Amino acid sequence: MSQPYVFALRNALEEIKNAEPCVQKIFLFQKDGEVIAKDETMGLDAVKALTGFFGELMQRAENIDAIENLTIEGADTTLNICCIGDLYAGSVFSRETDERTVKALTKIVIPTIIKLVDHISPVAQTLPTHQEKTEKPKETPKLSKDFMLPKAPVNQFIVEKMGGLLAPSNTVRIDCKITDGWLEMYGDKEIHEVNLESINGKTTRCKFKPNKDSKQCNGTIQVPEKIMASLKIGIGELVMVKPVVELEA
């Protein structure tokens, strides 16, 4: 695998951990046990021990076809390993994490994010190796419709109802760590709206505000009743969120 692809996978794992605090550790490996990427908190020896154990199970399971999903419950944590195309994703959760959340993350959120990495096309940027002293610095060109921006990331959140009598009916609240990441990705481009898509395929476009309350930044999105009704979703369901980046005319 190419270094840019592995780097993108590693970043995806860190984003999953940042967005989902209940995920304590996460790693990716191939069927032969080769570790492709892991989060920074997990030692390589520990990952290799787990992949070796899984490899032994795979050999014993040859008569009943390949293992697609495996969950092992320990005293304090739960280990889940799921198949994503040619890769396997291992994730460790605290035992306090409810079964519904584990299933949503391991069967929908994590596979979706890893698959999205396959569609990312980084923009190549060529930097000059040297510059003549008499040469005037070139102005940074403005973005135009012909300039290729990085592909807008897609994040998944668990829906929470937005409360408050003065809460706007056309605005959602999103974890500020996610929105700050959009600003870093697109520089000075202003992002005022997001596209929301439910698991049933319903979509809508609305405004958003960063949620700076660290106690509520737990992988959830606060959605007003009006938007929940238009998407036909309820509390605890998953939605995909993508920033709307407008190019200058």
| CATH number for 225 | 2.40.40.20
Q: Determine the Cα–Cα distance for residues 40 and 43; give it in Å rounded to an integer.
A: 8
On whether both 164 and 232 belong to a single domain, the answer is: yes
The first and second tokens of residue 21, run together, are 């605090």
On whether both 57 and 103 belong to a single domain, the answer is: yes
Please state the pTM of the whole predicted model.
Answer: 0.44
Q: Tens digit of pLDDT per residue, the chain (249 long)? A: 667 777 778 887 888 887 778 888 888 888 888 888 888 887 888 888 888 878 777 776 655 555 677 888 888 888 888 888 788 888 888 888 888 888 888 888 888 877 777 665 443 333 344 444 445 545 544 444 444 456 677 888 888 888 766 678 899 999 888 888 888 777 767 788 999 999 888 999 999 998 877 555 667 889 999 999 999 999 888 888 999 887 554
On whether both 159 and 214 belong to a single domain, the answer is: yes
Enter the DSSP assignment of 106: I
Report the CATH number at residue 67.
Answer: 3.30.450.30
Whether residue 63 lies inside any domain: the answer is: yes
Number of domains the chain is built from: 2
Whether residue 32 lies inside any domain: the answer is: yes
Whether residue 135 lies inside any domain: the answer is: no
Domain that holds residue 16: 3-117
Q: How remote is the C-alpha of 90 from its chain's centroid?
A: 15
The last residue of a domain, from among 117, 143, 174: 117
On whether both 159 and 84 belong to a single domain, the answer is: no
